Structure 1
Amino acid sequence: MSASKAMKWITGSFEIILAIPFLGATIVVFSGYSVLGFMFILHLITLILSLKNNESIYGSVLGIVTSLLAWIPIVGWVLHLITGILLMVSGGQKTRYPSNHTYPQ
């Protein structure tokens, strides 16, 4: 498993936890909203690793947007949920190598 796929699973799991009603809100509010900054950094790292490995980036990009907008109560919940699902799906997908790529042995 590549580092980017592992990061997608990790950030996706964190997003799903933050999407749990009341629990996610409690984590965000009692952290002084700093957990959103932490998630922004994790999504940025995941995005860079995904670009380096030529993997899908849509989950990480949405994660960055989610980190910026999650302070809005209902919008934040929806964005955490969608982002978590997208990251988990993209983390579980098989890597598609370009036609000129040599496959790992």
Structure 2
Amino acid sequence: MFLIPTIVAFLYELFLAIPFVGGATVLATGFGTVTLAFIIHIVVLVTRFAVGGSKAVPIIAIFLTIFTFIPFIAWFCHAIIAIMYLVDLIFSRPKVNQYTR
């Protein structure tokens, strides 16, 4: 339950960080993709509360998503969020429930 929302958020932010493709997608949808990114980060945060994982990356991602409405700062924010989720996926492990061993 911990990995799937994080992987989805990482891949989505990675797509939006592609310079012309991500920017064209954001403009074509009328910033609907940025709103969807905000919702995805909230879902990741809620799952982290349920599972007990680290909440730092989704909180920072929610904060940075607010700044992605500024056109030239958006690429940098999406790239930073994608890198943070990648590092989070590599170095964090979900807590194992003692009853499932």
Superposition TM-score tier, normalisation by shorter sequence: 0.7 to 0.9
Identify unmatched segments of 5+ residues in structure 1: none
1:5–1:92 contact (8 Å) kept in structure 2: no
Identical aligned pairs, as a percentage?
A: 23
The partner residue of 2:47 within 46, 49, 61 is: 49
Question: TM-score scaled by structure 1?
Answer: 0.83
2:2–2:94 contact (8 Å) kept in structure 1: no
Q: Which piece of structure 1 moves more, 42-51 or 62-71?
A: 62-71
CA distance, structure 2, for counterparts of residue 64 and residue 96 of structure 1: 21
Secondary structure of the corresponding residue to residue 19 of structure 2 = coil
CA distance, structure 1, for counterparts of residue 94 and residue 10 of structure 2: 21
CA RMSD of aligned residues (A): 1.9
4+ runs deviating over 3 angstroms? none
Identify unmatched segments of 5+ residues in structure 2: none
Greater fraction helix: 2
The partner residue of 2:100 within 87, 94, 104 is: 104
Q: Output the amino acid matched with 2:23.
A: A
Q: Deviations over 1:2-51 (max 9, x none)?
A: x2221111111110110111111101111000111111111101101012
Question: TM-score scaled by structure 2?
Answer: 0.86
State the 1:62 CA deviation.
2.0
